[in-house]
Amino acid sequence: MYKWIVIGGGIHGSTVASHLLHHGAVTHEEMAIIDPYDGPIENWKRLTNKIGMKHLRSPSVHHLHPDPYHLKKFARTQQYSAGFKGRYQRPLLHMFNHHCEQWFNEVNLQRSWKKGEVESLNKKDGAWHVHLNTGECFQSKNIVLAIGVTNKPHWPGWIMELKTSDPSGIYHIFEEPTLLAKGKTAIIGGGMTAAHTAIQLAKQGDEVITLIKRHPFRLHDFDSDPGWLGPKYLAGYENIDCNKERRSQIQKARYKGSLTRDLHVEVKALIRRGKLNVITDEVSCVNRRERSLLLQMKGGSEVKVSSIVLATGVDKGIPGEEWLSKTIRKHELYCAPCGFPVVDDTLKWDEGLYVTGALAELRVGPASRNIAGARKASERIMQSVSLERIVERR
């Protein structure tokens, strides 16, 4: 039986698992990291590479190593002369990934890796039983749910009929392993992912790319105010006992569908060069006309393209819902009205069951899904580990 199983090997799962190893809370033989991919943060690398991201949105102190200044030190020792950009010192993506790889190698994270997808999670005789699609079953004293959200892409209602009947030329950025769109392409979305994708396609080909968004560009340096990472806003948030109010605060705090000013500058430059066309309107329907796709806008105009790429975010609901909902019902796990876990300060949901990422946001706050949230969650879980060690010594 394992001491710890971490379900999910993305940014959040890899942060928690590497910190558990680094602090000596577990050995490689006592821990398993279960993920559908071959190695740590592989889905992160695939997605960021696909959209052509060059720099992270987060600042230099947000990374996976426990030392907040370690990435700065790494940049100096590895001689990254242009490793950070702008006022907030946004890390170069390549350098960030290189830093992650070195950190994972230092703690030998791959040694605890188990490739597979979870199909069920149940508790029996004091241990958690994890069943995989490979037919394997593992038992553990502790579980960390570090499930990502990108496996639940949001498909707008206006495209569902065509997606079902004739999906050729229609893609969601979170689904395809590579960016398959060719020719005249419409990108649907107004946030960072949509902007990155539009820039990438506009620079790659000769055709004019069309970016369709429902609202004017919302310019914000981060996807929530940095005050949510410290006592400025969290002090009041932590005093809120009502989970409905906490959810409301999270929704208000997030700058949904926003992008940074430097990315906006790139978009405007491509518009001036005639490489990118930006439309602020909403799609009402789409039809196939011969070899083209015809988008009918609510404002009355039509857009004719050969491909559509959706950068419309993810569906609402808890990550891993297809199997986690059964665990919730069977073990009567406490959830808020929004369906998300209600956990304690150490992110414990039930005895031996911890959460991070989106599942921890009612406790951690609006930044829970981000890299900063991964660090905060790891710190909270390590608090629980420290308390257990004190009890064991007694």
206 pLDDT band, cuts 50/70/90, is confident
Q: What is the pLDDT of residues 298-345, one digit of tens each?
A: 999 999 999 999 999 999 899 999 999 999 999 999 999 999 999 999
Nearest to 219 by CA among 264, 276, 251, 175: 264
Instruction: Report the percentage of the chain scoring pLDDT > 90.
Output: 92
User: Residue 391 above 60 pLDDT?
Assistant: no
Q: CATH for 157-220+256-310?
A: 3.50.50.60
* pLDDT band (50, 70, 90) for residue 392: low
Q: Find out whether 278 and 142 touch, Cβ atoms under 8 Å.
A: no
Domain(s) labelled CATH 3.50.50.60 in the chain stretch across 2-151+315-393, 157-220+256-310
User: What is the C-alpha to C-alpha distance for residues 108 and 111, in angstroms, rounded to an integer?
Assistant: 6
Could you identify the residue written with the tokens 């009402």? 284
pLDDT at 388 over 80: no
Which pTM does this prediction carry?
Answer: 0.95
pLDDT of residue 204: 87
* Contact indicator for 95, 104 with CB cutoff of 8 Å: no
Residue 234 CA to residue 139 CA, distance in Å, equals: 36
The per-residue pLDDT for range 226-277, each reduced to its tens digit, is 999 999 999 999 999 999 999 999 999 999 999 999 999 999 999 999 999 9
Query: What pLDDT, on a 0 to 100 scale, did the predictor assign at position 84?
Result: 97
CA 153 – CA 171 distance, rounded (Å): 11
| DSSP secondary structure, 153-164, as one string | B---GGGHHHHH
Tens of pLDDT, residues 26-67: 999 999 999 999 999 999 999 999 999 999 999 999 999 999
- Predicted pLDDT of residue 384: 87
Query: Is the pLDDT higher at 193 or at 289?
Result: 193
**Interstrand relation of 127-132 and 137-145 (parallel, antiparallel or unpaired):** antiparallel
User: Stretch 86-90: mean pLDDT, rounded?
Assistant: 94
Q: Is the pLDDT of residue 350 over 90?
A: yes
Superfamily of domain 2-151+315-393: FAD/NAD(P)-binding domain (3.50.50.60)
**What is d(CA 40, CA 100) in angstroms, rounded to the nearest whole number?**
9
Q: Note the pLDDT of residue 389.
A: 64
194 neighbors 211 (Cβ within 8 angstroms): yes
Q: Where are the alpha helices (H) located in the chain, listed in sequence order?
A: 11-22, 42-50, 70-77, 93-107, 160-165, 192-204, 231-238, 243-253, 261-272, 321-331, 361-364, 371-393
Closest residue by Cα to residue 131 from 304, 194, 123 = 123
Has residue 393 got a pLDDT over 70?
A: no
DSSP state letters, 64-98: SSSSTTHHHHHHHHTT-TT-EETTTTEEBHHHHHH
Contact 210, 293 (CB under 8 A): no
pLDDT class for 390, splitting at 50, 70, 90? low
Q: Which residues of 166-199 are buried (b: 16+ CB within 10 A; e: fewer)?
A: eeebbbbbbeeeebebeebbbbbbbbbbbbbbbb
For residue range 28-39, what is the model confidence (pLDDT) as tens digits?
A: 999 999 999 999
DSSP state, residue 339:
S
Distance of CA 347 to the CA centre of its chain: 18
| CA-to-CA dists, residue 27 to 32, 271, 283, 353, 355, angstroms | 10, 54, 53, 19, 21
What pLDDT is stored for residue 180 in this prediction? Answer: 67
Question: Angle 366-46-198 (CA atoms, 0-180°, nearest 5)?
Answer: 75
